[in-house]
Amino acid sequence: MASSPTSGKPVRHAAVSPAQTRRALLLLWALPALWVVNYIVARKAPGVVGPYMMAFGRWGMAAAVLAVLARQELWGERAAILRVWWQYLILGTLGMFICGAWVYLGAQSTTAMNMALIYSTAPVLITLGAVLWLGERFGLRQAAGVALAMAGVLHVIVKGRWVALADVQFSRGDGWILVATFSWAAYALLLKKWPSPLLATTRLAATCIGGVLALLPFAVWETLQANSPVLGREALGLMVLTALVPGLGAYWLYGWIQKILGAGRVAMALYLSPLYAGVAAWLFLGEQPGWHHAVGALMILPGVFLVSRTPMMTTVRSANAGASAGPGSGA
């Protein structure tokens, strides 16, 4: 959930061998599995660790690792970082606080499949943001894609029961995830709107620090509640897992694959995430997918595809690549 380690353009020189390309294509299929880990952990966390402490621990660990790796530039550019400290605080709030803690809140009352399907619409929201905020043009194909994807999200939220909407029990968890998805889109667009002279890893470290600072008072408040889970080894294990796999692991793997294949091809991994989430939720959580999930996926994923294949998506892909750990990493 931060700026991409690469430019997003395919590398077309002798340094990229056929073996590297094959390896990148193979790892492209593994990338969504890293994102899906966060959905599974989010569903496992209730009763083990509170949502704010979970997000604080996860991004605190990630910030520590990144700060060590980027320590020279962080120190050398400290004046430039402090001049725009508010940007890193806002980015951290959007990317680590809302897309972290609020996703864990949502996971208490929704399914992993719902989370993955709702979050898969992030590129569509980024497109809308680029049109409304960055002044991009909006074509008919994009409009159709946005309408189709949003209809798919609504289909999932109402569980496919359009005829009996009055009888549908809406899940608060879906609401939390929807808000987090909007936050993810805002985060990605702000990365584009606020260019930085920092290297990608350094910028991510500064953003993580901003997110940790935003989370700190809420994590302390949550810990002081009478019904707060006691922090134990299982909770620490979940924090380490999410920090290393959907956080740093997905970020670096996305960056390496993007360097070899380019942003357009690596973005296709987004379409696999709901499928992986459905299989993982069934295997590890015992969650049974419903027909409304299948119908929703058949609406959302083609909608995202229509939006992603339009010419104006140069800017949108750049913004989405800027959040290269993927939607499931913040989620």
Phi first, then psi: what are they for 17, rounded to 5°? Answer: -90, 160
Do the domain assignments include residue 6?
no
With bands split at pLDDT 50, 70 and 90, how would you rate the model's confidence at 251? confident
Contact 136, 312 (CB under 8 A): yes
Do the domain assignments include residue 13?
no
Do the domain assignments include residue 151?
yes
Give the residue from 179, 217, 199 showing the smallest Cα distance to 89.
Answer: 217
Range of the domain at 111: 18-330
CA distances for 329 relative to 44, 99, 148, 325, angstroms: 16, 9, 25, 6
User: 37-51, 190-204, 212-226: which range is least confident on average?
Assistant: 190-204
**pLDDT per residue over 131-186, tens digit each?**
788 777 777 887 888 888 888 888 887 777 776 555 666 789 999 999 999 999 89
- DSSP states of 104-148: HHHTTSS-HHHHHHHHTTHHHHHHHHHHHTS-----HHHHHHHHH
Do the domain assignments include residue 5?
no
For the chain, the average pLDDT equals: 83
Residues counted in the chain: 331
Do the domain assignments include residue 194?
yes
Do the domain assignments include residue 4?
no
Total domains in the fold of the chain: 1
Phi first, then psi: what are they for 213, rounded to 5°? Answer: -65, -40
Do the domain assignments include residue 96?
yes
Tokens 């940790």, residue?
A: 212
What pLDDT score does 169 carry? Answer: 67
Say if residue 67 is exposed, middle or buried (CB neighbours under 10 Å; 0-12, 13-18, 19+): middle
CA 46 to CA 44: how far, in whole Å? 6
pLDDT at 81 over 70: yes
Give the DSSP H/E element, type plus range, for residue 264: helix 263-266
Q: Percent of the chain, pLDDT > 70?
A: 84
Name the H helices within 10-111: 18-44, 51-69, 71-76, 78-83, 85-92, 103-106
CA 293 to CA 189: how far, in whole Å? 28
Residues 6+ apart with CB under 8 A from 70: 199, 201, 202, 205
Do the domain assignments include residue 326?
yes
The structure tokens listed for 259 are 């360097």
- pTM tops 0.95: no
Residue range 270-293: mean pLDDT, rounded? 83
With bands split at pLDDT 50, 70 and 90, how would you rate the model's confidence at 300? confident
CA distances for 292 relative to 61, 73, 227, angstroms: 37, 49, 35
